[in-house]
Amino acid sequence: MSFPPVQVLMVAEKPSIARTIAQALSQQVHTSRRNSHEVHYFPSYFFQMPCMIKVTSVVGHLFSTDFTPEYNGNDVDPIKLFDAPTFKKFSSPSQTIIQHLKNEAQGCNFLVLWLDNDREGENICFEVIQVCDNFLSVFDRNSQYIFRAKFSSITQVDIIKAYEQLSAKPDLNQSLAVDARQILDLKLGLSFSKFQTRYLQNKYNIQGKKKISYGPCQTPTLAFCVERHDEIENFKPQTYYTVQVKLNENVKLFQLSSFFKNLIYFQVTAKWSKEETFDQEEAKKVLSEVQTSNQLMVKSISTVQAIKSRPVGLNTVNMLRIASKKYEIGPHDAIHIAESLYLLGYITYPRTETTKYPNEFDFKQVLHAISNSKFNNMANYAKNLLREPLNKPYKGVDSGDHPPITPTQNAPQSLHPQQMQIYELVCKNFLGSLSQDAKIENTTYVLSSGQNQFEVKKSVLLNSGYLDIVPWESVCISNPNIENIEEGAAIKYEQAEVLTLLTQPPSYLSESDLIGLMEQNGIGTDASMPQHINNIILRNYVYVNIKERQLIPTQLGIALIHAYKEIDNELVAPELRRNMEEQISQIAKGQMTKEQLVDTQIKIFKQKYENFVSQSSRLDFHFDLIKSSLQDTSNEEENDEESQNQRNKSVKRGNHHKYQNYKQNHYQQHQHRNQQYKQNNMQKQKYQNYQNNNDHDANNSASYQGQQKYQRKDAAYTRQNNQYKNQNKYDNNQNFSNNQQPSDQQFPHILDQLNPAKLVEQNTRDVQQQDKQVNKNQENHQQKQSNQNSQQQQQGNVHKKKTQFKKEQYVQKDKRQQNNEQSQTTDQQSYLLASDCIEQQLTNMLNLKQTKKKQKKTLQNEENEQNQNDESQ
C-alpha cells in the first residue's frame, strides 16, 4: 500500500516570522505564493520522513472573549454581567485568516506551531488547533500529530535548533490562565465602567460617548499616580538648619597642572554629622563652639572599599525603565520598538521576566557579533572582553519563560533612531553583564570641635568596570584629591556658617518609577504593564510631562480615585489584583482550575459592585468639582474602545493607501525615467545624423563649432542615460514591484512613532531625495554645458562677423577702384580672386590659432600630470 507524500503545516504568529522560518529551514531555497495570505513551501524532512513543508502565519489572536448577544445591549443591567455567559468569537480582522488556515490544513498530516513562547502564544496555539484540527489528514489520531516549537530568537541557528527539538502539544494550563484573565477583565471592567458611565452621564448631562472606565489593573495603576499627587499637594515645607565648615587652604589637597606645574586647590567642606535640626538655637550653639575653638581636630580616619555590582541579564521591566529614564522613550513605545527589533532578528524575544542566562548560552558568539558592528564604542569594548577570560555574569532570576533580552546580530545604522537606541540599550546591558564590577574606595574623616563632630567624605573610583559601557548608571565621586591628612592633626577652617533650608516635596512619579511600583505590587505582567500605563494616558486620567517623563494626574483621574477610595479603598489598592495574578499563575502551573478562580473572583467583585452602587451618591461630591470640565470635554472625546478601533482601522486604511500611492509614484517615476531614456536616445540619434550631414563643410568655422557642440551633447546624453539605468536598477532591487508587498524586515510593525506608514514615507522620501539629487546634478551639468556652448557660439559669431567685415571692406575697396580707375574686367576678376584668397587665408589663420591654443593646453595638462606623478614618487 503506497502512502501519499507527507505534508507538514507550520503556523507562526506573524508573517515576517513565517518568512524567516521558511528561509532558515529551506536554506533560502523555497517558493512563495500569496492569495489572501502568504504561504512558503519547500521539500524537506520531518523526523527523517521526506515531506513537503508549508509555512504560514496568523496575526495575533484569532478569537476574542465576549458576552452572548443578549448581554451586549446598552440597556442591560451591569450587575447581570457578573453571571452572564461568555464565548469565544471570531475577531473581525481574523475571519479571512481562519478560512485561509482551513484551506491550508486540508491534506496536511502534521501541524507544527511556531507561536511566541509565552502564555499568550500558548493560547493562540490552541486557537489554531481549534481551526485546523478537523481539516488535517492525520495518519493515526492516536499518535502525536501536533508539535510545539519553542524558540527565543529568530536567528537561523535558533530556528533550526527549535525544529530539531520539537516538543509535545502546547501547554493547556498556560492557555487556560489567559482565558481566565480575559473573562475576569471583561466582566469586572465592563460592569463597573457601564454603571459609572451611565450614572455620570445622567447626573451631569454629558453628551456624546465619553466613557469613565474601570479596570482591575488600570485603576490601581492610576491610584499610584494620584497618591503621589496627593503627597505633593498636602506637603507643607518646614525650615531646618545645618552647620557647614569650609576648611583652610593650608589643608586643601592639590594636584600638579600639566602646563604650569602650579598647585590647584580644591575647596573641602565638612558637614555636621547630625546633618540637620529643626531647632535654630541648637545650630547656633554648635556654630558658636566651632568659632570659639578656631580649628578642628582629626578624630578618626576610616577607609572602606565598596563594590557596585554589574547588571544581570535584561528583562522587560528593566528595559522599559531604562528606556524611559535614559532615552525618554515611553513604555508603550519601547515595547513595540523592541518587538520590531525582534521581528527583524536583531534581539531575542523582548517579553520576559527572567534575568538568568541559560547554562548553554554562547556568550562569545554574541560578543563576536557586537565586535564586528559599525558602532565603534560597543565594538571596541566587545573586542577587549574577547581578549580576556570570560567573566561569567551573575545568576539572576529564572522565571521559567524566555531567557534575558540579548542582541543576536549586528544591526545596520539605517534603523530608525529610536530603534537604534533600544538596540544600543540591549547591547550595552549585555556587555555590562560580562564586565568587571566597579570598585569604589570610601574614606570618612571625622573632625571634632568640642562635643560636636563633622565629617568629610572622600570617594575614589578604583576600577570603573562596567560603568565604562553602561551610561545609565554612575557613582558619586567626592573630594577625590584629598590626601596626606593624618589622625590627630589640627585643621584650621576658613568659614563656619548655619545654613537655613526648606524641606522639599517628592516629585511626580516617572514612568520608570511607576513600572517599579507595578512590579513590586504585582500589578500586571511584564507584557501588560506598558498597556495599562498607556490606557490611563489615552483615557485622559494622566498626562505625561515630556521633559521629565513624569505622569501628572488630571482632574478626572483625581476625582475618580478619590471617589473610589471613599466608597471602597480595596477597589484601587493593589492587593486585590496581586492576589488575582497569583491565582492566575497557579492555573498556569496546574495548581488551580480556571472555574475555581473565576467563581472566586466574581463572588468578591460582585459584592463590591453592590456596595459601590449603594454608595454611588458619594461620586457627586468629587465630580461636582470638575463638572464644567466634564461637560467641556464630553463632545470632544470618543468612546475609548470604539475610537481605538477606528484609529486602528484608519491606520490600516492609511497604510494601505500610502503603500498604494507609493507604488503608483514609484511606477510613474520608473516610467518617466524610461521615457526620458528613449527621448535622449532619439535626440542623440538626431544630433549624430546632423553631425554626419554632408552639407556641413569641415573647413567651415561655423560647422566646426557645431560639431563640437553636438559632440558635447552626445556625451551629456550618454551620461544621463547611464544615470537613468542606475536609478532603475536601484528601484528594481527595492522589492516594491506591483505584485509584491513590502516585507516586515523593511517595514517593521511599530506603533505610534514607528509604524509601517511612517517607514514607507521615509523610504519614499529617500527615493525622492535621490531623484532630486540626480535631477539637480543633471541641471547643473546641463547649465554648465549650455554656458560653454553659448560662449563658443559667441566666439563663432565674432569670427563670422570679423570675416564678413573684412570681406565687405575688400568689396567696397574694389568698388572704389572700379569707379576711380575704370579698370578692365580682367583686373576686376583678378581682384576678386585675390579677395577670396585673403578670406581663405584669414579663415586658415583663425583655425591655426585655435589649434595652437588646444595644443598648448594639452601640453600644460601633461606637464601638470607629470609633476603630480613626480611628487607622489
DSSP state of 641: H
Cell numbers that stand for 285 in this block: 550653639
Strand arrangement, sheet containing 31-34: 31-34, 38-46, 49-57, 6-12, 110-114, 146-148
> At 547, phi and psi to the nearest 5?
-65, -45
CA angle, corner 592, sides to 589 and 595, nearest 5? 130
DSSP tag of 346: S
**How many other C-beta atoms can be found within 10 angstroms of the C-beta atom of residue 670?**
17
CA distances from 149 to 113, 169, 590, 667, 726 (A): 6, 9, 21, 41, 44
* Beta-bridge partner residues of 500: 241
Active site residue 349: yes
Residue with C-alpha cell 547591547?
Answer: 427
Nearest to 425 by CA among 325, 522, 563: 325
Residue 43 phi/psi, 5-degree rounding, is: -80, 145
Comparing C-alpha atoms, which of 703, 681, 683 is closest to residue 694?
A: 703
Strand partners, 502: 239
Is the distance from CB of 542 to CB of 561 less than 8 angstroms?
A: no
Alpha carbons 467 and 438: distance in angstroms, whole number: 7
- Look at residues 61, 24, 15 and name the one whose alpha carbon lies nearest to residue 157: 24
CA distances from 419 to 234, 375, 543 (A): 41, 14, 24
Cα–Cα dist 262/254, whole Å: 9
Cα 816 to Cα 353, 422, 826: the distances in Å are 112, 95, 16
- Cβ contacts of 748 within 8 Å, gap of 6 or more: 16, 340, 341, 343, 344, 419, 754, 756, 759
Q: Is the separation of the CB atoms in 745 and 344 below 8 Å?
A: yes
CB 128 within 8 A of CB 113: yes
**Residue 21 grid coordinates:** 522560518
Among 619, 609, 616, 617, CA closest to 79: 609
Any bridge partners for residue 56, and if so which? 11
* Active-site position among 349, 357, 445, 677: 349
Query: Alpha carbon 682 to chain centroid distance?
Result: 49
- Provide the β-strand partners of residue 544: 551
Please state, as a whole number, how many other Cβ atoms lie within 10 Å of the Cβ of residue 132. Answer: 21
Cα–Cα distance between 68 and 84 in angstroms, integer?
8
Q: How many CB atoms lie within 10 A of CB 271?
A: 17
Of 443, 496, 486, nearest to 295 by C-alpha is 496
CA distance 829 to 495: 120
Find where cell 485546523 sits. 132
Asked if residue 340 lies in contact with residue 419, where contact means CB atoms within 8 angstroms, the answer is yes
- HSE at residue 853, side-chain half, CA atoms within 13 A, is 6
Residues with catalytic function = 349
